[in-house]
Amino acid sequence: MLGSKKDIEDARKISSIFADISEESKMMAIVYLSALRDKEIADRDKQLQEA
């Protein structure tokens, strides 16, 4: 599935940022984004249980 123009532009920005940072910083960013995703999933599950 192709992304929207905004998704593609966002991906380009992220790619550009990642190209300029160290491997350690890349790993830290990935861990942080993964934690954010997990939190969103947990929050969504909690909201569904409360509904």
pLDDT-based confidence at 3, cuts 50/70/90? confident
What is the pLDDT averaged over residues 28-47?
Answer: 96
- What's the whole-model pTM score? 0.69
Centroid of chain to Cα 50: 26
DSSP letter string, 1-51? -PPPHHHHHHHHHHHHHHHTS-HHHHHHHHHHHHHHHHHHHHHHHHHHHH-
What pLDDT does residue 1 have? 55
Whether the predicted pLDDT of 27 surpasses 90:
yes
Mean of per-residue pLDDT scores for the chain: 92
What pLDDT does residue 51 have? 80
Distance CA 17, CA 37 (A): 20
